[in-house]
């Protein structure tokens, strides 16, 4: 029996990107270029436990009239051992969508991939990355306990 090729589910991808746009707007708010917000996840740390603290970090890299570029990452106790999750997300204000454009320093994801492929991307890699962003942001919204804005040099 022949396997049929994966067909991009554009409606689902656009829905995910629209939902992520709304989630990011709630978290980023009116932050300006160069500002970052850290949202603590889990129990509130004592001063002695700051190293064991997990946080979702949002950093506004660029801000233009119709687009905003936000870096989303997570900090935690394993930062010295493994590379922390990091992605760059482009917010398109005119269409009210947010799209992952970079994940772990890999850019330009196609809507579909043949499988297997040299980089071992899943056929729906782009959709999966945007879903992961959605789950990450939803967790921050549901369980984040504090936020602060800091200027970055």
For residues 136-144, give the mean pLDDT: 90
The torsion of the CA quartet 49, 36, 55, 144, rounded to 10 degrees, works out to 110
- Taking residue 20's Cβ as centre, other Cβ atoms within 10 Å add up to 24
* Residue showing tokens 């991307």: 121
pTM greater than the 0.75 cutoff = yes
2-6, 11-15, 126-130, range with greatest mean pLDDT: 11-15
Strand partners, 24: none
Q: What is the rounded average pLDDT for all residues in the chain? A: 80
- CB proximity list for 18: less than 8 A, separation 6 or greater: 96, 97
What are the residue ranges spanned by the domains of the chain?
Answer: 10-44+53-145
- pLDDT at residue 146 is higher than 70: no
Q: Which pLDDT score is estimated for 106?
A: 67
Q: Is the predicted pLDDT of residue 110 greater than 90, yes or no?
A: no
Kindly report, residue by residue over 16-75, the tens digit of the pLDDT.
999 999 999 999 988 999 999 988 887 655 544 555 578 899 999 999 999 999 999 988
């Amino acid at each position: 029996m022949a396997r049929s090729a994966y067909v991009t589910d554009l409606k689902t991808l656009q829905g995910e990107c629209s939902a992520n746009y709304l989630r990011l707007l709630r978290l980023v708010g009116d932050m300006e270029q160069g500002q970052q917000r850290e949202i603590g996840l889990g129990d509130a740390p004592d001063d002695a436990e700051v190293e064991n603290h997990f946080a979702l970090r949002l950093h506004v890299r660029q801000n233009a009239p119709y687009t905003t570029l936000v870096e989303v990452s997570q900090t935690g106790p394993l930062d010295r051992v493994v590379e922390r999750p990091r992605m760059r997300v482009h917010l398109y204000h005119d269409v009210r969508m947010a799209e992952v454009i970079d994940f772990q320093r890999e850019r330009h994801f196609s809507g579909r991939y043949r499988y297997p492929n040299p980089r071992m991307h899943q056929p729906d890699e782009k959709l999966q990355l945007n879903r992961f962003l959605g789950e990450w942001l939803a967790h921050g919204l549901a369980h984040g306990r504090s936020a602060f804005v800091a200027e970055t040099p």
